[in-house]
Amino acid sequence: MQKTVRGKDVATGAALEVAFSDSITAVAGAAGGAEELYLAPGWIDVQVNGYAGVDYNSARTSHEEIARSIEVLFATGVTRFYPTVITGAPDEMRGALENLARAKDSLTHGGAMDGFHVEGPHISPEDGPRGAHLRRWVRRPDLEEFRRWQDAARGNIRLVTLAPEWPEAPAYIEALVAQGVVISVGHTGADTRQLADAVSAGATMSTHLGNGSHSVMRRHPNYLWEQLAEDRLTASFIVDGIHLPNSFLKSAVRAKGVARSVLVTDASAPAGAKPGRYALGEQEVDLTSDNRVVLAGQDKLAGSALSMDRAVGNAVRFAEITLSDAVTMATTNAARVGGVAGRQNGLALGDRADFVLFRWERGVVGVRATYVGGECVYRA
């Protein structure tokens, strides 16, 4: 059935009317008075470890709990996301991917899990770049292991984060890119040549640039400068005011340009939940009263409690960019670099009917309605 939605264009402020079924069938200027709510493509988050108290890194997480977490994500304006499985025991990673694949196929709104992101285990074993990932499960790239993952995931793995300093990395990257998988550089201590080899092999993204790195590194060259200067890499950023200082964020976005910048939350189970203790795979994490997610009893960050509606508002304030640019970083840029089909053109004919209607008041995004595939899945 043909439906319409009206709102204010984020880029121009003009009133828009979008006609749609499960995809967009027409976009035109809307007659009448000014629209109260902004209308934008729905947010896309290609890095979500868990949400609303639900951990995506366990094969034992129930589908009912996954379904509940998706509903909470809809309330933040997210319409498509990549549940993210991090470094763990081989059987645990495979089990988590299989569980997510079954949930994707069986849940009413499972299609919002547009693909899966595997972050690790082929990362740096060093303290700093390894982040909160468990050292004992860090291991070298292995195509046979990837095939086991992809089989368990029913072909849904779209994004893999790895450190390119492994000798096997270039061949591994080439093989996965040939299968349509996006490769992102992250949790790395790679040198200039290793990064260049990864990009030449087909890596196109940097995972949460500025995090998962040494606390102290040489002035130059170093892997942050190299990734910032590499125009073939699009960088994702966690804009929660905790993971990155504003000075780095502003400098990084100016270096990459808005066109090569993406917002991610890197949310883990405590996001969208109350302070307390939660699971992240086989580890426990705490959500503190000041909204940091840390390894239990430690001060080491382990994902975030960020939501994408807050990330958009934060990006405007912290990076000093326009609302239109922040929305682009949370929508079409994420779709393009992450390989999300049918979402790379925005409010355009033929793209999927994924929308968010929101208020923009005093630098804060207030989501009022979310549509996924033409269905209104949340209304405030």
Burial status of residue 177 (CB atoms within 10 A of its CB: 0-12, 13-18, 19 or more)? middle
Longest dimension (CA), the chain: 62
Burial status of residue 19 (CB atoms within 10 A of its CB: 0-12, 13-18, 19 or more)? middle
266 a catalytic residue: yes
Torsion angle defined by CA atoms of residues 208, 209, 211 and 214, in that order, rounded to the nearest 10 degrees: 150
Burial status of residue 178 (CB atoms within 10 A of its CB: 0-12, 13-18, 19 or more)? exposed
Query: What span, in angstroms and rounded, lies between the C-alpha atoms of 208 and 306?
Result: 13
Burial status of residue 25 (CB atoms within 10 A of its CB: 0-12, 13-18, 19 or more)? middle
Query: What span, in angstroms and rounded, lies between the C-alpha atoms of 236 and 173?
Result: 19
DSSP states along 96-143: HHHHHHHHHHHSTTGGGB--EEEE-SSS--STTTTTTS-GGG-----H
Q: Cβ atoms within 10 A of the Cβ of 4, count?
A: 12
SS3 category, 50: strand
Could you say which of 240, 266, 325, 351 is catalytic?
A: 266
Q: Which residues are catalytic?
A: 266
